[in-house]
Structure 1
Amino acid sequence: MRTYRIRHQTAYHYERRVTSSYGLYHLVPREDARQHLLGHRIDVDPVPSDRVTDVDVYGNTRTWYHVTEPHTDLVIIGTTDLTVAAQTVPVEALALPWERCRPEQRRDIADWWRAVDLTLPSPRVDVLPEVAGYAAPSFPPGRPVGEAVEELNRRIHADFAYDPKATTVTTRVGEVLRIRAGVCQDFAQLMVSCLRSVGLAGRYVSGYLATVPAPGQPRNIGADATHAWAGVWIPGADWYDLDPTNDRPVDESHATVAWGRDYSDVAPVRGVIFGDGGGSSMKVSVDMAPLEVSTFPAP
């Protein structure tokens, strides 16, 4: 188990003053068996006149905000101290034939129905014939699900180049498959599409990756921004998360914020402005640094 302080800053600048900004953010990491929050706060400048927090259908914390003070700059900073442990999935669960992990075939599992939604196409994850063709070699009949998804994870890492200039936030799965390049969001959504193409439940996970790797480990790819990875539902063992960008299962260097069908469910910050605004720019910076002891609240 490791302790971290995460600082996530999103800064918008507008060439002309806007009258108000209305938006939504997912910036509170999840509290679960793998993670424990030691402290969390979100600072918005200008201060919103209205802010409402609730929990969505997947259990993610989300906050709606409305800034009514005219402004040319909007800054949102999330600061979190938390402990993170490695995920644990029973070996016998990963040894199940992958066909036996399809939610529709596991009505003997109490929560099977919760995973069904994540077997279907979603707004940003198309389930295409060409994706099914790419996924198929990893899923021969009877193969243990752990071996199958780990090989798929490894293949995506090997076959696709990490290139922040190759795609945008709106790039579709089919285009990523064609150009064989993208960023963590693209690789996670591609892996989710592959899982769904064979009838497995795949979830898109948004979070952070430690900016300082463990001693002797290579630098993490994608650690200088928000990160994303994919999870597969394992009957009786919850979820098994894998990071195709870095070719490994999720471990204690990954902090989970939210999960859903795809990026559109869990975007860290999004919104609209009222007024002309002219041109605009956005800068995002993320730091997930190890702590010896939490001293929250942060200075």
Structure 2
Amino acid sequence: MIYDIRLTIACNYPAAVADARHLLCVRPRGDCGQHVLSSHVDVSPHPDEQHGERDFFGNFVEDVTVRRPHRDLDVEMRARVRVDRAPADLVATPTLVEIADAAITWREAHGLSPIHFLGRSRRIVPVPAVTTYAEEPLSAVPEAGTAVLDLARRIHADFAYEPGATDVRTGVAEAFARRRGVCQDFAHVMVAGLRGVGIPAAYVSGFLRTDPPPGKPRLEGADSMHAWAAAWLGPEVGWIGFDPTNGVVAGRDHIIVAMGRDYADVAPVAGVVVTAGHQRTSHAVDVVPLDDDTGSAGSA
């Protein structure tokens, strides 16, 4: 499956910014069942400095500096990506106990090693109520893959997708108590629940295809950057994505931009500016499938 992707981000400041440095995490990854055929990032005003590098987790990060006064910052990312992600065989996965045991004895320390995704992070801390909530579906079946999908489906059923109900600062405990929010909140809740029972879990940012295949329902979050969770299901299986916003396994509808411990690791725009008042930020996403001869693995 090949996609053309366009992301636009617009930031407006109430007072002119004299100097700004940003980290942009918007280009798709070239692994995890994906191949980036092309990608390009344009920034306005034109940066005084701009260079890209891989962060610790293997995400492509753009370092941008603007040293002249500006009231607006506009970012446009265009990419063409081929997704060859095979459907996950959830039945052929170890038990949760086996995965938890393998994770705590793991010795490799590269960016996507499970040891980095077991404990608390900047946006995700242990919440006993979330752990208890996750334990029921996770203990209902022996295969970890099926159990994790059941947790994603439970969050999809119990939580209302309601833009504006939360913001980027909403914590796991608050999102869980409200039972409403957006994909970021649902992903954080799922990651917290999995870590609470000893399963390594990552936060994933990316895109969804805009138009579903014929006869399939439209997925929530398709017109903006999306977020979901990934669970490490042992050394033989590795990382598998699960989308609690839609209650599905992340398949060929899902294009990965970045993986990290939580949103703070993969925010599309981060950095430092000096201004007054509250800035306004908006973004839009267009994902256009160029072929679809094999169908879609990620639709609800």
- Measured at CA, do residues 19 and 233 of structure 1 come closer, stay the same or move farther in structure 2, by a change above 3 Å? same
CA contact (8 A) 2:106 2:115 kept: no
Amino acid at match of 1:101: I
The aligned counterpart of 1:97 is 95
Q: Secondary structure at the match of 2:62?
A: strand
- Measured at CA, do residues 287 and 147 of structure 1 come closer, stay the same or move farther in structure 2, by a change above 3 Å? same
The aligned counterpart of 2:69 is 70
The aligned counterpart of 1:260 is 260
The aligned counterpart of 1:166 is 165
Return the alpha-carbon distance in structure 2 between the equivalents of residues 160 and 127 of structure 1: 20
Return the alpha-carbon distance in structure 2 between the equivalents of residues 273 and 291 of structure 1: 38
> Shift of residue 84 of structure 1?
1.2
Deviates more, 1:142-151 or 1:204-213: 142-151
Identity %: 38
Amino acid at match of 2:252: E
CA contact (8 A) 1:7 1:80 kept: yes
Q: Secondary structure at the match of 1:102?
A: helix
The aligned counterpart of 1:297 is none
Return the alpha-carbon distance in structure 1 between the equivalents of residues 86 and 152 of structure 2: 16
CA contact (8 A) 1:46 1:71 kept: yes
Render the CA deviation track for 1:58-104: whole Å, top value 9, x for unaligned.
1111111101122111101110011113344345642x211101155
Matched ranges for 1:239-254 at <5 A = 239-254=239-254
Deviates more, 1:281-290 or 1:113-122: 113-122
The aligned counterpart of 2:14 is 15
Return the alpha-carbon distance in structure 2 between the equivalents of residues 189 and 44 of structure 1: 30
Return the alpha-carbon distance in structure 2 between the equivalents of residues 110 and 209 of structure 1: 31
CA contact (8 A) 1:24 1:63 kept: yes
Return the alpha-carbon distance in structure 2 between the equivalents of residues 91 and 247 of structure 1: 14
Return the alpha-carbon distance in structure 1 between the equivalents of residues 278 and 155 of structure 2: 37
Unaligned runs of 5+ in 1: 294-299
> Shift of residue 128 of structure 1?
1.2
> Shift of residue 5 of structure 1?
0.9
Unaligned runs of 5+ in 2: 293-300
The aligned counterpart of 2:191 is 192
Return the alpha-carbon distance in structure 1 between the equivalents of residues 105 and 202 of structure 2: 19
Return the alpha-carbon distance in structure 2 between the equivalents of residues 141 and 234 of structure 1: 17
The aligned counterpart of 1:289 is 288
Return the alpha-carbon distance in structure 2 between the equivalents of residues 171 and 279 of structure 1: 17
TM-score normalised by the chain length of structure 1: 0.91
> Shift of residue 141 of structure 1?
7.7
Return the alpha-carbon distance in structure 2 between the equivalents of residues 281 and 23 of structure 1: 16
Return the alpha-carbon distance in structure 1 between the equivalents of residues 35 and 2 of structure 2: 9
> Shift of residue 146 of structure 1?
1.5
CA contact (8 A) 1:161 1:181 kept: yes
The aligned counterpart of 2:270 is 270
Deviates more, 1:80-89 or 1:45-54: 80-89
How large is the Cα RMSD of the aligned pairs?
Answer: 2.2
Q: Secondary structure at the match of 2:130?
A: helix
CA contact (8 A) 1:15 1:278 kept: yes
The aligned counterpart of 1:206 is 205
The aligned counterpart of 1:296 is none
Return the alpha-carbon distance in structure 1 between the equivalents of residues 8 and 101 of structure 2: 38
CA contact (8 A) 1:103 1:116 kept: no
> Shift of residue 216 of structure 1?
1.0
> Shift of residue 183 of structure 1?
0.4
Return the alpha-carbon distance in structure 2 between the equivalents of residues 248 and 45 of structure 1: 37
- Measured at CA, do residues 268 and 64 of structure 1 come closer, stay the same or move farther in structure 2, by a change above 3 Å? same
Q: Does residue 1:120 correspond to 2:119, yes or no?
A: yes
Amino acid at match of 2:272: V
CA contact (8 A) 1:104 1:116 kept: no
The aligned counterpart of 2:219 is 220
Q: Secondary structure at the match of 2:187?
A: helix
Q: Secondary structure at the match of 1:264?
A: helix
The aligned counterpart of 2:4 is 5
Q: Secondary structure at the match of 1:7?
A: strand
CA contact (8 A) 1:153 1:243 kept: yes
> Shift of residue 265 of structure 1?
0.2
> Shift of residue 52 of structure 1?
2.6
Return the alpha-carbon distance in structure 1 between the equivalents of residues 282 and 141 of structure 2: 47
